[in-house]
Structure 1
């Protein structure tokens, strides 16, 4: 199996400094697998959710093709 994650900008990290001007005024995730965007990105949350579903489907199809 594999998983997809959304980068979480932790204070005092280089990544946080890079995106702090784009942080959204939203609460933290309600559960660990929620993957809610916490800063403005080029694409919408809906787009990223679609990509995750697509990746999982492609992975599953590949496993079926290879008899796994």
Structure 2
């Protein structure tokens, strides 16, 4: 049975795509697998530290308010 996958469009800061491509090649993974690997590591680390769910409130001045820390908000 085929696994259902979510698809998202992602905007990256200048240079990050190349960094991800280089890391993926070094680790013999696709760029997608590399991104998923790093997201999973970050989420596991936050869950272990109890930080998950302690996000700051959404910004009201942004056209599409998001929850998260200052770095997550800056990526939108």
TM-score, normalised via structure 2 length: 0.37
Higher relative contact order (CA 8 A, sep 6+): 1
TM-score norm. by structure 1 comes to 0.40
